[in-house]
Structure 1
């Protein structure tokens, strides 16, 4: 067995053992609540996962850890598959009436921070089970990559390659000397924002359990809730205002927060992708608010409030809902469908296409048009005051093409399985963009993915993984050259 393969197995074993340790939290919560079947499933899953993970890590451990670029791709994709399988165990065997397909779908949706759920009657579910869903999203939001970056340098394994593969940050400027320091700083910021969000939720009337669970899924832009009505169950206290603030905060690049706390507080307003993100958010909220008020769907106050919340939730891919916006009519549904392809900033916990890619693509189109009309003109491509190398443009355009191609193929597959056009198109967009709820009567904000056939759930589960791994990371694994020695 090569050193590189041993390194991959070692890291996967450590990550599996770490996730198993996290299962003890919901196990204790359910044990304290008297939900013995669920608590037992979490305890035994933790024991099995911890034993297997540590056994693999110890069996392949070597003094030299050589994580090549190819091995980094394998760890990036393999970690999500291994951890999803492990996370599904207590869901499958905890007495929650979930088949293996549903348990894996829910686990993948949690870890990828998609928020598409097959679980119904959340109000009556064991508290540990609900907290486990929130923990999965919190880990998936940024925890896995940060943990890897922090631990691997101590083990002799470089972590910066994985950060580039998964976060696809447009700005490669290192605000701290190495991956471990960046990971530690981002961890503290992520934790601090989560605690602040939980305090905010608690101040609006949520109990401690609901506040912590929703804070985790808000900062992860995941959208899992402890209630069937989602955040809509807490509107009276104004929890939706807290959610809007922290959904926006989670959609900003965490590297900018590092720059801000290191003495440049206005850095966030100078980042071009942040400027573009708020421009998109502002235009979308203004248009949606005007529409719902002008058509008489809501009075001005509730119209602005509902339009702002649900627009931010869709753009950031959080997936919370405070109303069934599918009932707003075809124009609103079409607008929300388009917004599913937006996303937040690179280096944030959001998914989908992300703002900077659209900005780079538009700059490339503008440059090409200028070149066509003025062949002798020299028009260097600059983004944020810096020149953009051609390989960056090729990477962005390649991603956009691959994203559209995967969306088209998955939408056709879902339609072939028997889903109606609205469900197939919005389901493909919502899962590939890791948004959460789709559109229509079945998977819309007032429905769940439970009624879908198993074949459709598997297609959407693959979409969630592909989308969370930035599409190209998965497609590279499918090329024969990748597996050649």
Structure 2
């Protein structure tokens, strides 16, 4: 039996937290002499309902099991999307349910795809809330709430398992709440440092804090129509590259690095593969770009920025990569299927899955030659069990099937094949830019309401690693124990 009252209590706590996170947007509205009431009204409505839910079920104290964990995570994203779009709707800056849902879920899932055609014309307070939605979704709102749930008498292990991205279960502390807290300390600290460096580099304080929020979230929302291309400073762009790289790194690796445990960092096969792959891909893109851009430093910066932005699923733009020919366009399209490290804020398939698949495929040849030999698959010095290998293989197959199904669905809706492939690939990987009519200098405003809702669901599937959502559609999930 599913404990729905306990779920209601947790939904109430989440809504109170979301309401509190809306309030800084009110401050920016007042500072820029804008109407603060849309955001304030949304915060009040969200706060009231959250408190009603929480105190109505505050006496509930049942353990959260695995089924409740998956259901809570899925419902929390539905609630966050529903109430997160209120500032857009109440301000009348985004008209229509599908547009507001798409922009909100694009923020919360850190996809960065947008339906806005003139970002700079939007109210500053609303743009800050837009950036905040990405920061909330970056490391996962559940990871934050797990850190504070013990204070509310709510357990958190099943929530962390269902929400935490990637197939790894590395922890920096035996207690799950302490792990969540320490990961958020790293997240907040890096965001603050990133903001200060942007500010020192020439951004206004407002632009610096917005871009820091979306950089560490690997979200890619910008306050400028031209995205990062608006800031021509090499310093700002290199700062963005460094922090996108860090945001795409497993946060437990960063944590151990900050503690000076270099050996733990170097033991990570995924991190080493991640770093080498980004460098190699940047060199590959450098040659076709340098044929058009004569300045060697600028050509390398363009190639490095684009590779890091796409692989970490941030989606910032400093250049239109489709202008360098079909070869560069196809490479950038393939980068949508890479993803950052497990345990990072990045979306996508993740390097550890690619690494496991490649190593297992290579070892399969050895097993064919020596059928009686025991040839274990090792990652980070540890043996990978058959169950984990099966889980990864199933994930890769499901990911491919959803991509094909999504592209076919958009094609049936009347969109050309490159646009359909690009839109589904970038939404499923939570990147932002794609190919076709959703390239790096385009947006998603032209899609029909039905297509926007469909792509919003694709974004949510990708952000929650497929299984957390798909398991809810299985009959055995709802059967009583």
TM-score of the pair, normalised by structure 1: 0.96
Q: How does 1:101-140 map to 2 (within 5 A)?
A: 101-140=98-137
Aligned to 2:467: 472
Aligned to 1:5: 4
- 1:202 aligns to 2:199 (yes or no): yes
Q: How does 1:316-355 map to 2 (within 5 A)?
A: 316-355=312-351
2-structure distance, mates of 1:159, 1:367 = 38
SS of the equivalent of 1:149 reads helix
Checking the alignment, whether the CA contact within 8 Å between 2:98 and 2:450 is kept in structure 1 is no
Checking the alignment, whether the CA contact within 8 Å between 1:271 and 1:384 is kept in structure 2 is yes
Aligned to 2:142: 145
Checking the alignment, whether the CA contact within 8 Å between 2:166 and 2:350 is kept in structure 1 is no
1-structure distance, mates of 2:96, 2:194 = 34
Q: How does 1:31-430 map to 2 (within 5 A)?
A: 31-36=30-35, 39-236=36-233, 238-293=235-290, 295-430=291-426
Structure 2, unmatched stretches of 5+, are none
Checking the alignment, whether the CA contact within 8 Å between 2:106 and 2:114 is kept in structure 1 is yes
The CA RMSD measured in Å over matched residues stands at: 1.5
Q: Note closer, same or farther for the CA distance 1:169–1:102 as it changes in structure 2 (3 Å cut).
A: closer
2-structure distance, mates of 1:161, 1:202 = 39
Q: Note closer, same or farther for the CA distance 1:18–1:345 as it changes in structure 2 (3 Å cut).
A: same
1:245, CA displacement in angstroms?
0.3
Q: Note closer, same or farther for the CA distance 1:473–1:406 as it changes in structure 2 (3 Å cut).
A: same
SS of the equivalent of 1:322 reads coil
Q: Note closer, same or farther for the CA distance 1:413–1:270 as it changes in structure 2 (3 Å cut).
A: same
2-structure distance, mates of 1:420, 1:3 = 44
For residues 225-280 of structure 1, give each alpha carbon's deviation from its aligned partner in whole angstroms, at most 9, with x where no partner exists: 00001111111363111100000011111112222334413432321100111122
For residues 88-117 of structure 1, give each alpha carbon's deviation from its aligned partner in whole angstroms, at most 9, with x where no partner exists: 011112031432111110000000000001
1-structure distance, mates of 2:298, 2:258 = 36
User: Alignment length, in residue pairs?
Assistant: 480
Checking the alignment, whether the CA contact within 8 Å between 1:431 and 1:467 is kept in structure 2 is yes
SS of the equivalent of 2:139 reads helix
